[in-house]
Structure 1
């Protein structure tokens, strides 16, 4: 019975391996773009706040800049990729046992 479960788990290991690889590559490209977007949002928000005198748009822009910074959405994406990789490793250990 255990060998049948290992045979069933093998395609999932292959799919997870490919998925984690592709997602890691896309994440590396997206993090570069998000860093540039974070810088632009922060600079324009500070400009709107201090030069334009509009505190509402300045704070809103800083919140958006935080969300696209490495501490916001990219951190959540990296956490999800790590969890998928952990699932992949646990399935590999199940197959090789």
Structure 2
């Protein structure tokens, strides 16, 4: 199966970087560009999944109070480091 052809315009500095990088890798510019686009796609999808997961977790309504987080953060790197705080804010149950 052949891949469809895709063309694009690049700024001169980006084109120069792509050509230099492709020579460094001993690959074609198309190969380097394809792998860069694939990496960006995977990164974007991973970020979206992390956001979905964080939103679902936040929707549960269980949080650590600002006071506990501040105390923990301020103790980092000191002789009196605190353990990571546990959630102390829970949703109201009817």
**Normalising by structure 2, what TM-score?**
0.33
Computing the radius of gyration over CA atoms, which structure comes out larger, 1 or 2? 2
* Higher RCO (C-alpha 8 Å, min separation 6): 1
